[in-house]
Amino acid sequence: MDKNMMRKERIDRGLKVRTEGIYAISSYREILYLLGPRLLLIVGIIALPFVLELAPYWKRVVNIMCVYALLALSFDFLANYVGLVCLGGAFFTGVGGYLSAIFNVHLGLPIYLSIPLATVSGAALCTVLLLPCLPLRGVYFAIITLMYPLLLTRVIEALDILGGTNGITGLDSFPNAYIEQYAIIIMMLVFLFGMRRFVNQDIGLVLRGVKDNDQSVRASGINVTHMKLLAVFVAAFIGCFSGAYVAHLYMWAGLSLFALDFSIIPIASVVIGGGGTLVGALIGSFILVPLSEILRAFGSFRIVIYCAVLTGFIVFKSEGIMIYLQRKYHQFERWVKV
């Protein structure tokens, strides 16, 4: 029949409807339907280092991949659950990295203290520094956060503090390669599933309210700035952890921690993976980071390819991979007559 007379209809699978209720644990099929994708992700990532045992170089790439996944997670949370579009993810990594370098090199704290301390204090510091701009909205918040890492870079350059352009060297490395690898993988999974819990709590609901209509949240007697403060602290917590990890991974904290890469690649990952799903952020960076490693031979041309992919996704497939996959998993499509 003529396709013009037809329209595509999407209907939830029976399995999906059943697993939403108490029947979810009534049969193996339902349990598998719910757990399957999650287990695939968890087992896949944990097994990845063993699979890559033959290619040591790519094991390093997995570390970087997880770092970007964490940053993308924090961007996704801020942008799609709180409505604060933070173009300066590098601000978090920079603060976290420099703080852990100070704790480790100048104060002589061991690595298992310096990373957590840098994470917590860095998150607090970022929150305090961003506090004045929290009432801002939309484009204004985006521009101001884009300026923060640039400003810190120039200040460190101009004042020649914290090692100036050379950075702080001589950080402790991780005791061995497996701890190095699994520290970030486990933390990534913890943060991912933790965030999924967090956004479905009551407080997550309020945060989404802030995104959709902050005036009505304020009318309900909830302080909007407090809520945003909390959200920024959570996002900065994740960002500072990855910054501290990167600093210890390279045994160096320098100006490149404020580099644009840490702001752009996570955003690209979220756009490609699918905003608002949290898992999409991971998937996006699992695609983009290896892609950029493959393209490393092209030099700066890889950024061109990158940007072309990003623009293409924004223009033609703005929903992202994860939302597409979720649709295919939960629903079936059929053509019906108009």
Partner 1 sequence: MEILIYGIINSITLSLLSLGFALVYSISRVPNFAHGALYIMAGYITWLFLNKFIAFPYPLAIILAIGLTSLIGALIYRFVLIRIRGMEISEIIATYAIGLAILEGLRWGGLRGMTFTLPPFVAGSVQICGTNIDYQRLIIVGSGILIFALLYLFTHFNKIGLALRGIAQDERAAMMLGIDSDMTAIISLAIGSGLAGFAAILLLPLGSIIVEAGYNVLIFAIAVCVIGGLGSWGGTVVASFIIGFAQILTEAFLSSHYQMVVALLAIIVTLLIKPSGIFGKQKELEERV
Per CB under 8 A, residues contacting partner 1 are 79, 85, 87, 132-133, 135-140, 142-144, 147-148, 150-151, 154-155, 157-158, 214-215, 218, 224-225, 264, 267-268, 271, 298-301, 303-304, 306-308, 310-311, 314-316, 318
CB of 18 to partner 1, least distance (A): 36
CB of 211 to partner 1, least distance (A): 12
- Give 15 or 259: the residue with its C-beta nearer to partner 1: 259
Q: Are 278 and 272 in contact (CB under 8 A)?
A: no
* Amino acid in position 31: I
CA distances from 232 to 69, 117, 131, 317 (A): 18, 18, 9, 28
Specify the pairing of strand 331-337 against strand 6-12.
Answer: antiparallel
- Give 83 or 97: the residue with its C-beta nearer to partner 1: 83
- Give 22 or 315: the residue with its C-beta nearer to partner 1: 315
CB of 154 to partner 1, least distance (A): 5
Cβ contacts of 264 within 8 Å, gap of 6 or more: none
CB-hemisphere CA count at 13 Å for 199? 23
- Which letter, b or e, does each residue of 113-142 get, where b requires 16 or more Cβ atoms within 10 Å of its Cβ? ebbebbbbbbbebbbeebeebbebeeeebb
Q: Are 274 and 321 in contact (CB under 8 A)?
A: yes
CB of 217 to partner 1, least distance (A): 9
- Give 36 or 135: the residue with its C-beta nearer to partner 1: 135
- Give 4 or 215: the residue with its C-beta nearer to partner 1: 215
- Residue for token pair 């100070």: 102
Q: Are 14 and 337 in contact (CB under 8 A)?
A: no
CB of 238 to partner 1, least distance (A): 20
What CA–CA distance (Å, rounded) separates 272 from 288? 9
Dihedrals φ, ψ of 21, to 5°? -100, -160
- Give 45 or 232: the residue with its C-beta nearer to partner 1: 232
CB of 228 to partner 1, least distance (A): 8
- Give 12 or 157: the residue with its C-beta nearer to partner 1: 157
CB of 133 to partner 1, least distance (A): 6
115: left (phi over 0), alpha (psi -120 to 50) or beta: alpha
